[in-house]
Amino acid sequence: MTESKSPFQRILLKISGEGFAREGETGLDTELVKGLAEQLRSLTTDGIQVACVIGGGNILRGKQSGSLGIARATADYMGMLATVINGLALADALESNGVPTRVMSAIDVHKVCEPFIRRRALRHLEKGRVVVLVGGLGSPYFTTDTAAAQRAIELDCDALLKATMVDGVYDKDPHVHKDAVHLPELSFDQVIQRQLRVMDQTAFTLCREHDLPLLVFDMNAEDGLSHAGRGHNIGTIIRN
């Protein structure tokens, strides 16, 4: 395998469900999925080991349980299954693009993918396969952000790259305040002191306690994913 020119040898990329649908829409947009696969392919050709944790918000989130009239735990399992659908779509696009890929799930769906087994996942990464992690952590009341932080630590990744709809962290919500200031670099303590919202508390605490650098970047920026994976100066980097 080619040696990586990036500061990262192994990354965990969190792609939320929003990355699989057009803005304001639900379901899957295959053109977007192909775009994601192409950017991931370019990272693997640089020798970067890539694991992705996939969200499911484009299909269903557990917190919609009230409006759907479904028990929260059931809706959470439905959300986890949504991540399986997205992950299979991404894996298909990657394989069509010539990228060896394995889908590993935290919930048992053995007809369509492998179960998540740490040592096996590490082996896939070492062999240059993209590992698409679905099913979150396999338990209700968690998010795929938390799954991403947990898996990044468990798989000894150099960084967690969180693809979002904004180009990093601001001092206040840029969608509401025109004068919001972009913050390119922060420590975990600064995020807490300034009460900035980066990701859910459980995920954030895991990154902080395990010294896992967290890069937040815009998934819609041109080649955003490829730049983030190569450690280029985009978005906001948070580290101790």
In angstroms, the CA 128 to CA 47 distance is 7
Draw the binding track, 81-100, toward ligand UDP (x: CB under 6 A; -: no contact).
-xx-----------------
Residue found under tokens 């944790």: 53
38 burial via Cβ count (<10 Å: 0-12, 13-18, 19+) = middle
Q: Which of 12, 39, 50, 61 binds ligand UDP (CB under 6 A)?
A: 61
Smallest separation, CB 60 to ligand UDP (Å): 7
Residue 170 phi, psi (nearest 5): -115, 165
Q: Is the dihedral of CA 75, 79, 85, 88 positive or negative?
A: negative
Q: Which of 13, 79, 198, 227 binds ligand UDP (CB under 6 A)?
A: 79
Contact stretch for ligand UDP (CB under 6 A) within 5-13, 77-85, 115-123, 164-172: 77-85
Smallest separation, CB 37 to ligand UDP (Å): 18
Smallest separation, CB 189 to ligand UDP (Å): 25
Q: How would you label 51-90 residue by residue, b for 16+ Cβ within 10 Å and e otherwise?
A: bbbbbbbbbbbbeebeeeebeeeebbbbbbbbbbbbbbbb
Draw the binding track, 108-137, toward ligand UDP (x: CB under 6 A; -: no contact).
----------------------------xx
In angstroms, the CA 228 to CA 218 distance is 9
Draw the binding track, 145-184, toward ligand UDP (x: CB under 6 A; -: no contact).
x-x-------------------------------------
Kindly state the tokens that stand for 181: 């200031």
In angstroms, the CA 190 to CA 192 distance is 5
Q: Which of 21, 62, 116, 130 binds ligand UDP (CB under 6 A)?
A: 62
Strands (DSSP E) found in the chain: 10-15, 49-54, 101-105, 114-115, 130-134, 159-164, 169-170, 182-183, 185-186, 214-218, 236-238
> Binding of ligand UDP at residue 105 (CB under 6 A)?
no
Contact stretch for ligand UDP (CB under 6 A) within 72-80, 90-98, 174-182, 210-218: 72-80
> Binding of ligand UDP at residue 80 (CB under 6 A)?
yes
Binding site for ligand UDP (CB under 6 A): 16-18, 55-57, 61-62, 75-76, 79-80, 82-83, 136-137, 139-140, 142-145, 147
